[in-house]
Structure 1
Amino acid sequence: MPNQPVGQKPPRQLAIVAPIIDCAELASVDLSAIGGAGSKVTSAKEVVKDANFCEVEGVLKPAITFKVLLPTDSWQQRFLQVGCGGLCGRIQLQLDGAAGCFPLDSNGFVIAATDMGHALGDINFGNDPQKRRDFAYRAVHLTAVATKQLIQTFYGRKAAYAYFSGCSDGGREGLMEAQRYPADFNGIVAGAAANNFQVQKAVYHSWQAQSNTDANGKAVITAAQLPLIHNAVLAQCDAQDGQVDGLIADPQSCHFNPAVLSCARLAPGSANGHNCLSDTQLATLHRLYDGPRDPKSLERLTVGGPLPGSELAWAGIFVPKKTGDLNYSESVALSTLKYLNYEKNPPASFSLKEVKQTAQMLADLSKLHPLYDATNPNLQPFYAAGGKLILWHGWGDPSVSPLNTLAYHQALGETLGLVTRDKFERLYMLPGLYHCSTGEGPSMVDFLTPMLNWVEQGIAPDSVLTYMVASEQKNKMITKKPQGDMKLETIADNAASRPVYPYPDYAVYSGKGDVSQAANYQRKKLATVPENYHWLGEGFYKPYAALN
């Protein structure tokens, strides 16, 4: 089986089902019962994109557009809906966490995606209450329902299995499906989920942007200082996980002391701005790691900030890559605060300078928490429906703090009980992985195949192989476009590998054999496994009634 990760059980080969009607006939499918009057298929045509497909595009009122790719001669009875990152606004056929998945590579899925109800240039879509709901939950659900109707019509039968996979906001979308529509999907893979949407966008990113900006609007810490900081973190913490490899597999055990970087410790005249940090920069670094606190109670206002070991990934997020660059944190915080986070939008002149991170800010954000957030841990209906859930996150993610995913995993255990949680959910934490992809650690992984095996054969996932993308391997990597426009990386024959285990276990080198081979790693429990994450918004991770 080509490109199947070594040591990973391949999924079942399901019988191929052929269409019973011509592709063009799908143009007449009535979707009004799903999306309301005027909902319809706008285009249905045969295309050749690595294989033969019936490509269907449509609209679900008022403005949800979607695309479905239905294989004409290779469908293996599975449906996969792909999540959309950021604030969406376009059909995004991109999937992280499925490198080398054979059923994808062989065009065996019906694939669907949506723009979530607004166009990419429509930055103020939050002024429309309906578009808010479409973005929050409605577009993804209705696309799933519409796709299932198209499958029934085209093939004359239902999909045997339905899956959802997404990362970032796509991860939030997957969790939203599990929480609001537990029967939509048999299996959901949610990576680096922006599930704590209100706090992550409005509080975390506004704090990170403000903390690294001085009174003149210039960055205090620049990308030039990040390697210095990162190397100091490694010097203090790399060996704590049992292996000196440039990765921190247990960042919650790392208590980095940035004082070692102080310019005051150097001999007079030897500080040059690249070998040390000023007092102002050290204070800024502390704020970036620590996160915002209520000025009165000094309680945390977020689950947590970026973790030690993630420093190189800060460039472009809240540390500018070059002077004058607009940071992602500044951009995303401003756009959501102006148009999405509050019941009533602030004036057009609103700026981040007006944001004061306080307990009152959390209280204000809590009003739309039941609309946008996907932190409800009551997944009993999803479990009862037989659903399976894989969560995954990179320890080196600066865009969505991995502590948000850890807090949700913990909340599931508290709400449902550990025994029940472990029957349908797994969490994987990847060392050195940035936001959804890339990083210093092994970043190529296939969580979709273990999900197929779990749902279809009852084989619960345990160790999963991850692969390194090294510079000498990049020319040997093949980037294909299976399922139409979806990009899927295949794994090079000589790629370094390492297993990843369900949290709180991790992989550490056994001390024997090639360090680049997964077979030479053994399982170990993380030294630090917090029982809870204390912050003022802990109630966001308690069961709640959804807001429609």
Structure 2
Amino acid sequence: MLRRVFPALAAILLASLGMAPTAGAAGLPDLPAVSPVTSCASLAGLDLAGATGAKTTLAASEVAGSSPYCKVTGTIAPAIRFEVRLPLAGWTQRYLQTGCGGLCGNLRIDAGKAEGCTPVTDGRIVLASTDMGHQGNATEWGEDKQKREDFAFRGVHATALAAKALIRAFYGQPQRYAYFSGCSDGGREALMEAQRFPEDFDGIAAGAPALNFTVQNSFHHGWLARVNTDANGKAILLADDARALYKLALATCDKLDGLADGQIDDPRRCRVNPALLLCKGAYEAGKCLTADKVEAARLVYQGARSAKGTALEVGPLQPGSEEQWIGVFVPTTPDGRIGSAMFAGDTINHLLFTPNPATPYTPKTFPFTEAMYRSEEPARALYSADNADLSGFARRGGKLILWHGWSDPHISPLNTIDYFERAGLKMGKARRDAMTRMFLFPGMGHCSGGDGPSEFPLLANLMAWVEGGTAPSVMQAHRAGQTAEGLPVGISGGAQSGQQAGPPAGMGPPRKVLPPRSRPVYAYPAVARYSGTGSTDTAASFKAVTPAPVNGVAKWIGAGR
């Protein structure tokens, strides 16, 4: 309790006991470094069944390098694989668990968005992650009720319990602070933790969360695949068409914020009319659209609806995301793969129903109806992290950062905005704002990339809030592969960093070479506005402005839960 309420005083007292403090990141208290009290090899013999609630097998070995650690891998019965990395020296009493994207099935620790967070970049934090109970990309595991539960929530929670038990055994004391960070399905996992297991983590970062999992992977991706496939099974919109639509979106909406800078700051204020690109003669790729392409684009911007016009998802993809559609549901050639068909098919036919459909659905045969939405309710209760009541997490002092790119081609940012607004309605805005911040990044794609600044010190800000009480009001963001000063740099985060949950290789748009750009991204609802002087590619040239509010509560079939 002393260390939780008075971290600075605790550091002094612990230092007097011979536990010297280590330097922390900006805004973080200097927590004393803690050394192991037992050998790495001895951890393999631990019985963690009491901690995890199931038989747990372990293996342990030391990993050399600039930041050596004890690597513990294990399996929590029946099949949840996990890995924990425990620093052999200099541990700063912090624990970070990272999420897994897509339908998981792989074990990878990915502490992205960690620039300026020295406990992570210097290897002085315990790291962990899990494959969530199944291995590989095949979805036959959906036949198993236990594996569905392991994926939905048990894998992440059980891994947290195992990691904390290993920390206590290795260092002779528990972690001082526990964090979770994930994007895409990792963002869903993050919110699931805050909702179902509020005691697991002190600070949680949920990026582009697939919180409406069942809708996202049936109606949303199914709709994108359906409206972009013609009667012969060929793709309608192709990469050149998406680029033409992107140019139209910028021409229509870029200046709405008073600055023509190649990014749309709030696409909700924008309406793109693809009919303006209708060919007046023969079709010219990248310059105009045929009538069927215009209609396909209109339906993408509209979002999934029933024949009666009922919205079947929170909201559609936003203007400015068009180039990011390439590789997700817009291929390069008419015979190219439409990824959204695969995403929807895997989930609809293997994860959502009991029993699974005897005849597999395709985007063409899947019913976009209110009755189908209601039939997904049992799966929603299992998988979706849409409970806006975060009272349990608030009571234990937890802090939550929501973040999303406006140009996300997988998950509409309207989902995250709707969740944030519903949390305010459920808990009261004052209580929500005491423990939650949301950041929306113009021009940013899915978890990273895109034309806008998409790298920022997420973990440093989260830890500073939890440990120092400083709620983040702004994230200084820069384009991927650049520093705020425009110098080349790898994706932030050190040895364990990387883009989280982005599209598989070959499924995204080709990377552009863009000039350096840094921008402040303010906590919602504030936005950055050009001050009138200085470079428009430099963060210092912008200030915070709070525009007229836009109602972020969605009107759709699932509203009012």
Fold-level similarity (TM above 0.5): yes
Give the letter for the 1:331 counterpart.
M
Conserved? CA contact 1:32–1:40, under 8 Å = no
Partner of 2:306: 294
Conserved? CA contact 1:206–1:330, under 8 Å = yes
What is the percent sequence identity of the aligned residues?
42
Cα displacement string for residues 506-536 of structure 1 (whole angstroms, at most 9, x for unaligned residues): 1121110122221110112244511521001
Counterparts of 1:460-499 in structure 2 under 5 Å? 460-469=471-480, 476-478=488-490, 482=494, 485-487=496-498, 496-499=517-520
Which one is further off, 12-21 or 240-249? Answer: 12-21
Conserved? CA contact 2:455–2:492, under 8 Å = no
Conserved? CA contact 2:35–2:171, under 8 Å = yes
Partner of 2:36: 19
Alpha-carbon RMSD across the aligned residues, in angstroms, is: 2.0
Q: Measure how far apart 1:459 and its partner are.
A: 0.9
Partner of 1:435: 446
Give the letter for the 1:183 counterpart.
E
1:132 to 145, 148, 170: 148
1:369 is the counterpart of 2:380: yes
For 2:364, what is the secondary structure of its paired residue?
helix
Counterparts of 1:520-531 in structure 2 under 5 Å? 520-527=541-548, 529-531=550-552
Q: Measure how far apart 1:239 and its partner are.
A: 0.3
Q: Measure how far apart 1:188 and its partner are.
A: 0.2
Gaps of 5+ in 2: 1-24, 501-514
Distance, in Å, in 2 between the alignment partners of 1:362 and 1:340 is: 15
Give the letter for the 2:468 counterpart.
Q
Cα displacement string for residues 323-366 of structure 1 (whole angstroms, at most 9, x for unaligned residues): 43322211110000011112321126443332011101110111
Give the letter for the 2:522 counterpart.
Y
Which one is further off, 469-478 or 395-404? Answer: 469-478
Aligned length: 522
Distance, in Å, in 2 between the alignment partners of 1:471 and 1:448 is: 18
Give the letter for the 1:28 counterpart.
G
1:272 is the counterpart of 2:272: no
Gaps of 5+ in 1: 1-7, 543-548
For 1:335, what is the secondary structure of its paired residue?
helix
Distance, in Å, in 2 between the alignment partners of 1:480 and 1:308 is: 27
Distance, in Å, in 1 between the alignment partners of 2:230 and 2:401 is: 41
Partner of 1:141: 157
Which one is further off, 385-394 or 451-460? Answer: 451-460
Distance, in Å, in 1 between the alignment partners of 2:277 and 2:111 is: 39
2:66 to 23, 47, 50: 50
Give the letter for the 1:180 counterpart.
R
Conserved? CA contact 2:49–2:56, under 8 Å = yes
Counterparts of 1:147-158 in structure 2 under 5 Å? 147-158=163-174
Cα displacement string for residues 178-229 of structure 1 (whole angstroms, at most 9, x for unaligned residues): 0000010000000000000000111100000011000111111000111111
Distance, in Å, in 2 between the alignment partners of 1:191 and 1:121 is: 22
> CA 1:336–1:55 in 2, change beyond 3 Å: closer, same or farther?
same
1:532 is the counterpart of 2:543: no
Conserved? CA contact 1:196–1:404, under 8 Å = yes
Q: Measure how far apart 1:20 and its partner are.
A: 0.5
Distance, in Å, in 1 between the alignment partners of 2:290 and 2:491 is: 44
Distance, in Å, in 2 between the alignment partners of 1:470 and 1:478 is: 5
Conserved? CA contact 1:40–1:58, under 8 Å = yes
Partner of 1:210: 226
- With structure 2 as the length reference, what TM-score do the two structures score? 0.89
For 1:305, what is the secondary structure of its paired residue?
coil
For 1:352, what is the secondary structure of its paired residue?
coil
Distance, in Å, in 1 between the alignment partners of 2:273 and 2:379 is: 38
Counterparts of 1:280-429 in structure 2 under 5 Å? 280-296=292-308, 298-347=309-358, 349-429=360-440
1:59 to 57, 75, 83: 75
1:516 to 533, 537, 547: 537
- With structure 1 as the length reference, what TM-score do the two structures score? 0.91
